[in-house]
Amino acid sequence: EQVKRALVRYPVKVTRVDVDPARNPFGLALDCYEGAPQRISTPEPTRPASGGLSPQAPQGETP
């Protein structure tokens, strides 16, 4: 298993804080993790059909 290619979701908790609006215009801050990290599975890539483009694909106008 390759560790460097693992996709992980880290749920975080965002809170509103009373700070200088010039430094933090939205007044938001990261508080802590909301839960445990969750591994994200990637969908299997689809292979194109052999033979190139499908016959239904538009090819443009012909003169």
- pLDDT, tens digit, for every residue of 27-41? 999 999 999 999 998
Distance CA 16, CA 31 (A): 9
Beta bridge partners of residue 13, listed in sequence order: 32
Q: What is the pTM of this model?
A: 0.48
Distance CA 28, CA 40 (A): 26
pLDDT beyond 60 at 57: no
Domain coordinates in residue numbering, the chain:
7-40
H or E stretch at 30? strand 28-33
pLDDT beyond 60 at 54: no
Beta bridge partners of residue 28, listed in sequence order: 16
Size of the chain, expressed as the number of residues it contains: 63
